[in-house]
Structure 1
Amino acid sequence: MQNEILSQLLEQNRKDCSHFCKNINTENSSYRLIEQTASVGFIYRHIGETTNLIGQFFGYKTDVEGTTIGKNDIGIEFDLETSRMYFEKGYNTLERLVANTSGQEWLEEIDTTWFGKIERIKLLSVLLNHNAHHCGQISSAIIKGKKY
């Protein structure tokens, strides 16, 4: 039952984020709400990178590099197809994580370089909230933003 609930939460998070991210294209990927905020393309890449890299804390290896984490958007144009692949790969990893983690394992602490020791369920929660937050930024930037 617990994994079914987590599966439903993950599915909804992915669906919501995908709804906003499907509207990203080469024209609006450089949109920002204001000049100081990150662009749509940067945030999209950031979501994909972060999801894959946090997957490593759960034991899932990745070849995705963290080019956006802790960095400012300096106007680099990211390949949207690669960002889409990172996004999908990250969520596919999370699906495997939810399907293969027992109820007791969710309460176990894991050691991370970003958060120190944290329970698996808390780390999943952090990631889902992180992605939802950034997908909201993407939506706002697409609707109200412009190229600076």
Structure 2
Amino acid sequence: MQKEILLQMLEQNRMDCSHFCKNINAENIDFRLTEQTASVGFIYRHIGETMNLIGEFFGYETDVEGTTIGQKDTEIQYNLEISHAYFEKGYNTLKELIANTTDKEWLEEIDTAWFGKISKIKLFSILLFHNSHHCGQISSAVLKGRKQ
């Protein structure tokens, strides 16, 4: 039952985030709420990069580079198709993680560069909250933002 619960949580997170991210296009990729906030394109790339890089803590290798983590948006034009591929790859990795992790393994602690030693389930939940937070930012920027 635990796998089913985690799969449903992941699917809801993916569905919610995809709902907002499907509206990203060439016209609004540079939208920001203010000059100080990150652009839609930067945030979208950040979500995809983060999922894939956190996947490494769970033992999944990736060739995705962390160009946005801990960085400010410097108005680099991110390729929307690549960002979308990172987004999808990240969610697919998380789905695979759920399928391959036993109930007991979720409580095991792993060392992370960002959070120190933390249980797998806590890291998984941090990632889902992270995605929701940033997808909310994307939604606001697409609806109310503009190119600065």
Common fold: TM-score over 0.5 = yes
Query: What residue in structure 2 maps to residue 134 of structure 1?
Result: 134
- Where 2:29 maps in the other structure, the secondary structure is helix
Structure 1 ranges of 4+ moved more than 6 A:
none
| d(CA) in 2 for partners of 1:54, 1:18 | 19
Q: Which amino acid aligns with 1:51?
A: M
Give CA deviations for 1:105-135 in whole Å, capped at 9, x if unaligned.
0000001111110000000000000000000
Q: Which amino acid aligns with 2:95?
A: E
Query: What residue in structure 2 maps to residue 40 of structure 1?
Result: 40
Q: TM-score, normalising length from structure 1? A: 0.99
Query: What residue in structure 1 maps to residue 79 of structure 2?
Result: 79
1:122 has 2:122 as partner = yes
Q: CA deviation at 1:91?
A: 0.3
Q: Which runs of 5+ in 1 are unaligned?
A: none
Q: TM-score, normalising length from structure 2? A: 0.99
1:55 has 2:74 as partner = no
Over aligned residue pairs, what C-alpha RMSD do you find?
0.3
Q: CA deviation at 1:43?
A: 0.0
Q: Which amino acid aligns with 1:62?
A: T
Query: What residue in structure 1 maps to residue 100 of structure 2?
Result: 100
Aligned length: 148
| d(CA) in 1 for partners of 2:70, 2:91 | 21
| d(CA) in 1 for partners of 2:99, 2:12 | 16
Q: Which amino acid aligns with 1:18?
A: S
- Where 1:90 maps in the other structure, the secondary structure is helix
- Where 2:9 maps in the other structure, the secondary structure is helix
